[in-house]
Amino acid sequence: MAGNEDPPALAPQQPPPERKARGAWVWEEAQPAKRLRGGEEGEPEPPPPARKPPKRKIVLLLAYSGKGYHGMQRNSGSSQFKTIEDDLVSALVRAGCIPENHGTDMRKMSFQRCARTDKGVSAAGQVVSLKAWLIDDILDKINSHLPSHIRILGLKRVTGGFNSKNRCDARTYFYMLPTFAFAHKDRDVQDETYRLSTETLQQVNRLLACYTGTHNFHNFTSQKGPREPSARRYILEMYCEQPFVREGLEFAMIKVKGQSFMMHQIRKMVGLLVAIVKGYAPESVLERSWGEEKVDVPKAPGLGLVLERVHFEKYNQRFGGDGLHEPLDWAQEEGKAAAFKEQHIYPTIVSTERHERSMAQWLSTLPVHDFSATALAAPSTSAQVPSSLEGSDGDGDTD
């Protein structure tokens, strides 16, 4: 009968997809399609932002004429006194080697210099260490933002913990002065017609040799007591080269290499030498100056002082031949350093001496010094040498 017909069979339901896990079958509900980040389904995810390359520890070989600058070291919080590092850091930021905030806080790039040169002092071989991005054409880009009297001559990769001041074994300076500074006050002409004799040059070198070795130089700096260990300094060599003539004026160069130098030390070493050769002070004052007595030591002008080279012998022995790092000898950059001296340093010294007569004016002050008077120096002082403006002849040691 029509009412007794069976209902049509229903299609069997499909079981949910199944997967096997750890030997047993488990049921898994169907998951909806995931949406990709970026908006619509199927739209590709945007690429991640470009990452800056990692910074690397490097050293820069730096040459500069110091005239018009208040030394090498930057004076934090003072824009009144311009320094070499002010121009250098600005160029590093503008070239894209360091972030802008590293320019305001130099500790962030682990910045260190080998020598904190004094006001007016120049350099042909200063070395600074820092962390920077190694961009393409890095030297050309930095130099394009520097004045012509400041130049980066070379760059090398160094070990991650490298510190240019602490790794430096020795520093070599020269002091360029007109030879009339050696004219005897009673016997010789006191102007630019003077020419250094062989006998006087021999006397100069005999006295300079007395400085070699370890001595107590507390009288050659400020705020150092005679019993402070840091007042003892080791001089490897000191001598005067043959004189030469520039623009009708005869000059000579005094070379000195030492482990480190205190503030004004080299200028006072030259000042006392000149006072002895000119006849204002007896030779015996050298020995007295290394004792505990306080001795009046004149300070020669800063104009002729130049940091010529810094030395890394121990670093080179340990890392220079490891196949990963270059020795810090700068042999390939010597030609550029020599050209910079000829173009910027020597002409500045000669021109300034001719027009401003800094040496001649300083020589006129020698008679007011009393080289016979002595007083017992303070046995010790814990005061530190201020580092604000004048910096140092050498490594800025202010123990």
Residues labelled as active-site residues: 118
Helix, coil or strand: residue 192: coil
What CA–CA distance (Å, rounded) separates 173 from 310? 9
Burial (CB < 10 A; 0-12, 13-18, 19+), residue 310, is: buried
What CA–CA distance (Å, rounded) separates 246 from 248? 5
Burial (CB < 10 A; 0-12, 13-18, 19+), residue 231, is: buried
Residue reference for tokens 């018009």: 68
Beta-ladder partners of 172: 257, 309
Maximum Cα–Cα distance across the chain: 155
Report how far Cα 252 is from the mean position of its chain's Cα atoms. Answer: 26
- How many C-beta neighbours within 10 Å does residue 197 have? 14
- Sequence-distant (≥ 6) Cβ neighbours of residue 41 within 8 angstroms: 33, 35
Phi-psi region of 396 (alpha: psi -120 to 50; beta: other; left: phi over 0): left
Rg, C-alpha atoms of the chain: 34
DSSP output for 26-81: EE-PPPPPPPPTTSSTTPPPPPPPPPPPPPEEEEEEEEE--TTSS-SS--TT--SS
- Sequence-distant (≥ 6) Cβ neighbours of residue 279 within 8 angstroms: 184, 185, 186
What CA–CA distance (Å, rounded) separates 114 from 389? 17
298 vs 20, 164, 233, 271, CA distance in Å?
95, 31, 19, 5
Helix or strand (DSSP H, E) at 129: strand 122-132
